Amino acid sequence: MTKLVTIYGGAGFVGRYIARRMAKEGWRVRVAVRRPNESLHVKPYGAVGQVEPVFCNIRDDASVRAAMLGADAVVNCVGVLTERGKNSFEAVQAEGAGRIARIAAEEGIGQCVHISALGANATAASKYARSKAEGEAKVLAAFPSAVILRPSVIFGTEDQFFNRFGKMAEKNPVLTLVGANTKFQPVYVDDVAQAAVKAVLGQAEPGIYELGGPDVRSFRELMVEMLKIVHRKRLVVGLPFWVGSVMAFGFTVLQKLSLGLFHNGILTGDQIANLKVGNVVSEGAKTFADLGIKPTAMQAVLPDYMWVYRDGGQYDAIRESAKNLREI
């Protein structure tokens, strides 16, 4: 184990899969996170001492540099879905991304991989999308040979997409969706990790890759498929964008009135702006095909972790089987 990779945000949803794969490749893995004591779950990904969480604040040059010392490659997985305190889109996804790439270039790091997002656009109405585009620009300016990955909405055991709506379906007879007709191209988290590992190993040409799965579905269609998997009958209702904007405004006001005690992680105006734009791979972009990876279909993975939202949980299949026996 002579090679070392530093993965910023390596204990998060995407980062942990990259860390696991890099450990299997025989690399030492340094997982740079804000709370190392809450990231001990990464240690069993390799042999004793192979995967180690370390403290890092990507808003600080010295902290980023310290986590990078001696590394052969760096991967940046840090991102935020909503702004909170000092962790704004600009600070994390633009300045933070640029800082990691700049210091990587200064330290003579061999490979730099940056996880961005499909829909990154410097002229977008969404601050999230603009900050992602700004981060990409800063990364390429500092490290021209970097590999940038733009995944669509990511699914997997720990995702915040299907799990969120699975929980809602447990208790609510109606699922209300803002942007029900918006198209998505969900991508499996381990496929994104595989792409990142190829980039670290030098098996990917520099540039931007747009990563989407084999299925293109509307938001409504994704929820209908999810409900079939969790064996629940729920009414799926699409809400106009103006209704969503009113709801988002109300949640934001509540956050301000509570002085931050309530954090609006439910629906924001910026998310509304994002939902107005389709989240699918653009024509002519570099994709999984250019990396030699065949993306995984949703139906091959979702049942493996969404069963927890079925009425009978792990016993649901047994109950269905018993029901068939009674009918016979």
Show the tokens assigned to 241. 């964008």
- DSSP lists the bridge partners of residue 148 as 114, 208
DSSP 90: I
Q: CA 279, CA 286: separation in Å to the nearest integer?
A: 15
The answer to whether residues 156 and 13 touch, using CB atoms and an 8 Å cutoff, is yes
pTM to 2 decimals?
Answer: 0.93
What three-state secondary structure class fits 122? Answer: coil
8 Å CB contact between 120 and 132: yes
pLDDT at 101: 98
pLDDT in tens, the chain (328 residues): 689 999 999 999 999 999 999 999 999 999 999 999 999 999 999 999 999 999 999 999 999 999 999 999 999 999 999 998 899 999 999 999 999 999 999 999 999 999 999 999 999 999 999 999 999 999 999 999 999 999 999 999 999 999 999 999 999 999 999 999 999 999 999 999 999 999 999 999 999 999 999 999 999 999 999 999 999 999 999 999 999 999 999 999 999 999 888 889 899 999 999 999 999 999 999 999 999 999 999 999 999 999 999 987 777 767 766 766 665 5
Residue listed under structure tokens 């009978």? 312
DSSP 187-230: EEHHHHHHHHHHHHTT-S-SEEEEE--S--EEHHHHHHHHHHHT
